[in-house]
């Protein structure tokens, strides 16, 4: 996700310094004209804004906090935009530490997947001060199409967790319905068209169909490679469980989606796109 986002910043004319643990990614950005750092802290020279996109809360806290964390190496003029999907309490923890050093941080997790990141059509779901969002808006607009202010620090993460829990639920439901229909002799393309014009329509069915061959240019039609990994979806469902427990909010369908993805991720499917949950239905791996 971070790669195409940074590429769009370059296209928009921003001066970008990047760091990634993968040498191949660093080399690609050299060719694109970015400054490439050998360490995360080396990107900070003359920086006005630091954008991070990392897979989980521990990575974000490790990057910014502690003796070697970036916050202690940043000047107060620098804004932090963290686009990772992490626990709301982690976002608030980093924002509070940043504030103590006079640094503004917003949490700005994204929706839209790698395709949206590449096309520059991401949705940013922002938590933090409204004035900080307005300052960051030109940067976010270079990478995305829709920008929402969810509330104070951590609110962006809460909204993103809610969105991804619903995404997991309707992806699993779409896969289940398609498998039921095909198992009873229906053509998956015909069934998909029928449901997309009926009351069962949803994003997973219409935009990201999980049945191979129904839709071009989605992970299901390239052996579920690329896209949003099943293990990352499982991580986000775990965050939803944590949020539900802290707020005493019932999520029976979210819990079921978590259980389905936990079972799905026991094998090699953990590295496949989350739409590969269909494989577990087709292979009868998801027993009630």
Q: So which residues are the catalytic ones? A: 160
Q: Residue-wise over 236-257: b if at least 16 C-beta within 10 A, else e?
A: bbbbbbebbeeeeeebeebeeb
- Beta strands 49-52 and 79-82, pairing class: parallel
CA distance 164 to 274: 11
CA–CA distances in Å: residue 260 to residues 182, 254, 269: 20, 10, 12
CA distance 95 to 103: 8
Task: Supply φ then ψ for residue 119, to 5 degrees.
Answer: -80, -10
CA distance 197 to 192: 9
Task: State the alpha helices, DSSP H only, in 200-251.
Answer: 203-206, 230-247
Structure tokens at 27: 């080399």
Structure tokens at 256: 């079921």
E strands, the chain, in order: 17-18, 35-36, 49-52, 79-82, 104-107, 110-111, 122-127, 144-151
Structure tokens at 204: 């997973």
């Amino acid at each position: 996700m971070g790669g195409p986002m940074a590429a769009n910043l370059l296209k928009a004319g921003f001066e970008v310094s990047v760091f990634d643990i993968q040498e191949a990614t660093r080399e690609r950005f050299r060719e694109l004209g970015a400054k490439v750092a050998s360490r995360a802290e080396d990107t900070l020279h003359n920086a006005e804004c630091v954008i991070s996109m990392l897979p989980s809360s521990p990575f974000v806290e490790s990057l910014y906090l502690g003796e070697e964390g970036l916050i202690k190496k940043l000047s107060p003029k620098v804004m932090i935009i963290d686009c990772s999907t992490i626990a709301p309490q982690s976002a608030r923890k980093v924002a509070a530490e940043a504030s103590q050093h006079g640094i503004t941080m917003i949490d700005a997790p994204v929706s839209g997947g790698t395709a949206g990141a590449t096309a520059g059509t991401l949705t940013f779901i922002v938590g933090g001060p409204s004035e900080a969002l307005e300052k960051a808006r030109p940067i976010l607009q270079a990478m995305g199409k829709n920008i929402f202010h969810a509330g104070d620090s951590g609110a962006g993460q809460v909204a993103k967790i809610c969105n991804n829990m619903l995404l997991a639920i309707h992806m699993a439901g779409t896969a289940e319905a398609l498998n039921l229909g095909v198992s009873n002799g229906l053509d998956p393309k015909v069934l998909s068209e029928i449901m997309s014009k009926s009351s069962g329509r949803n994003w997973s069915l219409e935009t990201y169909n999980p049945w191979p061959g129904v839709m071009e240019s989605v992970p299901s039609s390239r052996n579920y490679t690329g896209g949003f990994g099943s293990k990352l979806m499982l991580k986000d469902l775990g965050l939803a469980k944590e949020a539900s427990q802290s707020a005493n909010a019932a999520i029976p369908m979210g819990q079921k989606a978590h259980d389905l993805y936990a079972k799905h991720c026991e094998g090699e499917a953990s590295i496949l796109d989350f739409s590969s949950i269909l494989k577990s239905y087709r292979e009868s791996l998801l027993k009630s």
